[in-house]
């Protein structure tokens, strides 16, 4: 848009709309990404909607920009819906600003996108140093010839009788065949007593012998899983059970290249390109400690200069583009292990765990013991470190507290370090927590707080004008105990009093936006933006996209019994061990243990277990906290079982389900 539009020149209706969109993009970039635009012409422009995050590739955008002048650099940060272009001269940059603002292009999915440009002084990205593959991981390129690839692909008969024992028809998003033993995805294991007839296909024999002879693999596999992935499909992050297979899992990629994500328990992610006809070998730490998975998407972010060569996908913003996925077939070979595992990672090894992992409670007594061992004792130990990470109040909670009438008596049940106790000086606030050490921190900050159980708060019934319960209810181990905690909040309220309740959500991606919990996933990449990683900017910047609907926030409310009986598509966890969650990843179970990597000086009586030898990563004490993450509608359903309350509001806030209720 020409500078005359910034004066008193009378704008047309179309020009006014364009200017509004341009200003909105400017404000969105500042609010969510920390990118400050300027009103004067510079060599650099931020191109809103022209990013890898909304399917615009480097090969697609660069020719459009080059029509306006010589491009010195095009910076395209991964997963972001914008890019930054630097022209050789200010005049060329200004020409692009005038010519391309409001220009419509078509992305790699065939959807129309409108570009909005704003001047910036410069875009900031920070060097983080070199990267390495996870220890024990290697990728061998061109392990087979194109002729052998064609022969292997043609040998797989996907149209045969689905009753065949090698054919598995239960997976929703991909076709699967097993040979030697059937791989069970629910347990990442095999039944060693039920070998499939026929063994491995004959066509694999000479190939495996060659790999053994050349030292690419140590064990001759006796189990094979063949997966066919359509573009847009993937596989959840997982670790193959330690005791099930030997210390070597290999996967041959056929038909198309793919980016596979490897995640360390501390949240670090390493995206690795697996080229077509390459062999991935996972051994040691990469096999036993790191999860591996494929994100379901139709495009991968790759290095433009490296093409389809193997290696880590760095965040070199001058060298990233999109690569459209094709149909990929993987041959994953394993050697079934007949003896217990004695790896160097006892904390995550099913053969070496010193204690039986926590089980889902079948009685109130077991629930109480689970909470004692995996909630109360843990918070008592990590209180100081936990408090150091809990300093920023959440805006919607602050809004609730500041809206209460002056002089209101408010109880914070499960107050932690008391970060909400001093938000509104016009209120009389009192906090309580099960942890003595957290309550001590509150008292050091001159707040009124005491130790108690959230199921039996020693405050007179009907005496509070409001209560808040933030990130507490999800630590109770049964539905009955969670409802009892809600009932205790209602007991404290006077008629007309309100309670605000937050619980962790199963759905960490909602309305096409990832929660802060997922977005803060740390990467091992060599370049990292100084900009905050908030994908909500993507939704705001692509308003011009046709047919991009928002998920309706209204939802039907199921009864509490639906969730007790395994709602939210969760598996029945009765009589089963609680899974250990991988930090900064999506949840795959409602009841689970979440690791806390302790930083600080361990207490004298603390029982500490290390993750084992972590290669370049510093081992630190790890504790596990029990959580029941709530599905959409579950918190509402639990509240509706209470008497004398009405639900005023129910909403989703940064990975949490939230309810405001009122006592009637």
Average pLDDT of each block of 10 consecutive residues along the chain (664 residues)?
49 80 80 78 90 83 92 81 88 93 80 88 52 85 93 87 51 78 77 87 92 91 92 85 91 94 79 92 92 88 73 70 90 92 84 68 90 95 91 92 97 97 96 97 96 96 98 96 96 97 91 77 38 30 31 30 40 57 84 84 42 43 92 92 93 94 96
Q: How would you label 55-80 residue by residue, b for 16+ Cβ within 10 Å and e otherwise?
A: bbbbebbbebbeebbebeebbbbbbb
Positions of CATH 2.60.120.1520 in the chain: 137-343
Per-residue pLDDT at 567? 42
Name the CATH topology of 2-129: Alpha-Beta Plaits (3.30.70)
Considering the chain, tell me which residue range(s) the CATH 3.40.50.150 domain(s) occupy: 367-509+632-663
Nearest residue to 83 (alpha-carbon basis) of 45, 114, 109 = 45
Instruction: Return d(Cα 1, Cα 95) in angstroms, integer.
Output: 10
State residue 490's pLDDT score: 97
Q: Are strands 464-470 and 513-514 parallel, antiparallel or unpaired?
A: unpaired
pLDDT value for 509:
82
Determine whether 656 is exposed, middle or buried from the number of CB atoms within 10 Å of its CB (0-12, 13-18, 19+).
buried
CATH architecture assignment, domain 367-509+632-663: 3-Layer(aba) Sandwich (3.40)
**Short-list 280, 329, 262, 294, CA closest to 143:** 280
Please state, as a whole number, how many other Cβ atoms lie within 10 Å of the Cβ of residue 157. 11
Distances (CA, A) of 224 to 124, 263, 292, 515, 604: 47, 24, 17, 37, 48
Angstrom distance (rounded) from CA 507 to CA 553: 13
Can you read off the two tokens belonging to residue 153?
Answer: 């692909």
Pick from 357, 354, 168, 334: nearest CA to 244: 334
pLDDT at 347: 72
- What does the alpha-carbon distance between residue 143 and residue 450 come to, in Å, rounded to a whole number? 65
Residue 31: what are its φ and ψ, rounded to 5°?
-70, -45
The second-level CATH assignment, the architecture, of 137-343 is Sandwich (2.60)
pLDDT score, position 511: 77
Instruction: Give the H/E segment covering residue 303.
Output: strand 299-303
Determine how β-strand 320-324 pairs with β-strand 291-294: unpaired
Residue 496 makes CB contacts below 8 A (sequence gap 6+) with 662, 663, 664
Q: Which part of the chain is CATH 3.30.70.330?
A: 2-129
Token look-up 């635009």 returns 37
């Amino acid at each position: 848009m020409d500078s005359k539009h910034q004066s008193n020149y009378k704008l047309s209706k179309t020009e006014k709309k364009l200017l509004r969109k341009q200003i909105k993009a400017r404000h969105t970039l500042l609010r969510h990404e920390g990118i400050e635009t300027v009103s004067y012409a510079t060599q650099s422009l931020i191109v809103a909607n022209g990013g890898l995050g909304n399917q615009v590739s480097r090969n697609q955008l660069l020719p459009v920009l080059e029509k306006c002048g010589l491009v010195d650099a095009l910076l395209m940060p991964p997963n972001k819906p914008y890019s930054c272009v630097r022209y050789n001269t200010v005049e060329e940059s200004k020409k692009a600003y005038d010519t391309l603002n409001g220009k419509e292009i078509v992305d790699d999915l065939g959807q129309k996108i409108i570009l909005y440009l704003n001047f910036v002084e410069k875009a900031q990205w920070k060097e983080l140093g070199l990267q390495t593959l996870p220890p024990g991981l290697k990728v061998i390129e061109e392990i087979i010839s194109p002729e052998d690839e064609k022969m292997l692909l043609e040998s797989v008969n996907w149209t045969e009788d689905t009753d065949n024992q090698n054919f598995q028809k239960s997976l929703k998003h991909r076709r699967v065949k097993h040979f030697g033993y059937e791989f069970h995805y629910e347990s990442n294991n095999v039944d060693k007593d039920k070998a499939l007839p026929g063994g491995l296909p004959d066509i694999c024999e000479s190939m495996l012998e060659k790999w053994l002879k050349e030292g690419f693999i140590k064990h001759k596999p006796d189990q094979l899983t063949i997966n066919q992935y359509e573009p847009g499909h993937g596989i959840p992050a997982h670790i193959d059970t330690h005791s099930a297979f030997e210390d070597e899992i290999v996967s041959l990629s056929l038909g198309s290249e793919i980016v596979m994500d490897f995640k360390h328990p501390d949240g670090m992610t390493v995206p690795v390109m697996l080229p077509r006809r390459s062999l991935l070998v996972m051994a040691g730490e990469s096999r036993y400690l790191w999860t591996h998975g494929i994100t379901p998407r139709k495009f991968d972010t790759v290095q433009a200069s490296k093409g389809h060569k193997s290696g880590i996908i760095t965040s070199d913003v001058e060298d990233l583009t999109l690569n459209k996925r094709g149909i990929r077939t993987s041959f994953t070979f394993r050697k079934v292990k007949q003896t217990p595992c004695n790896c160097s990672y006892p904390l995550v090894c099913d053969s070496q765990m010193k204690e039986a992992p926590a089980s889902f409670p079948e009685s109130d007594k077991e629930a109480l013991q689970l909470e004692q061992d995996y909630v109360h004792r843990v918070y008592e130990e990590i209180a100081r470190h936990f408090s150091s990470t809990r300093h920023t109040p959440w805006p919607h909670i602050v809004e609730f507290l500041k809206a209460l009438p002056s002089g209101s008596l408010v109880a914070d049940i499960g107050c932690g370090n008391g970060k909400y106790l001093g938000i509104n000086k016009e209120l009389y606030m009192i906090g309580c927590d099960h942890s003595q050490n957290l309550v001590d921190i509150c008292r050091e900050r001159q707040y009124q707080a005491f130790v108690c159980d959230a199921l039996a708060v020693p405050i007179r019934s009907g005496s509070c004008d409001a209560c808040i319960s933030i990130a507490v209810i999800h630590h109770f181990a049964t539905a009955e105990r969670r409802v009892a905690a809600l009932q205790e909040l209602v007991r404290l309220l006077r008629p007309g009093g309100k309670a605000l309740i937050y619980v962790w959500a199963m759905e960490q991606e909602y309305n096409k936006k990832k929660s802060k919990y997922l977005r803060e996933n740390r990467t091992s990449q060599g370049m990292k933006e100084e900009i905050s990683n908030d994908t909500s900017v993507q939704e705001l910047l692509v308003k011009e996209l046709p047919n991009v609907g928002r998920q309706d926030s209204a939802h039907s409310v199921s009864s509490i019994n639906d969730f007790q009986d395994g709602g939210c598509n969760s598996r029945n966890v009765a009589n089963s061990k609680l899974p250990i969650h991988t930090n900064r990843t999506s949840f795959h179970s409602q009841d689970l243990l979440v690791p806390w990597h302790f930083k600080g000086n361990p207490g004298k009586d603390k029982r500490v277990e290390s993750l084992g030898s972590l290669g370049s990563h510093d081992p630190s004490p790890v504790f596990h906290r029990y959580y029941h993450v709530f599905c959409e509608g579950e918190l509402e359903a639990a509240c509706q079982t209470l008497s004398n309350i009405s639900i005023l509001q129910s909403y989703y806030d940064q990975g949490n389900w939230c309810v405001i209720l009122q006592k009637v």
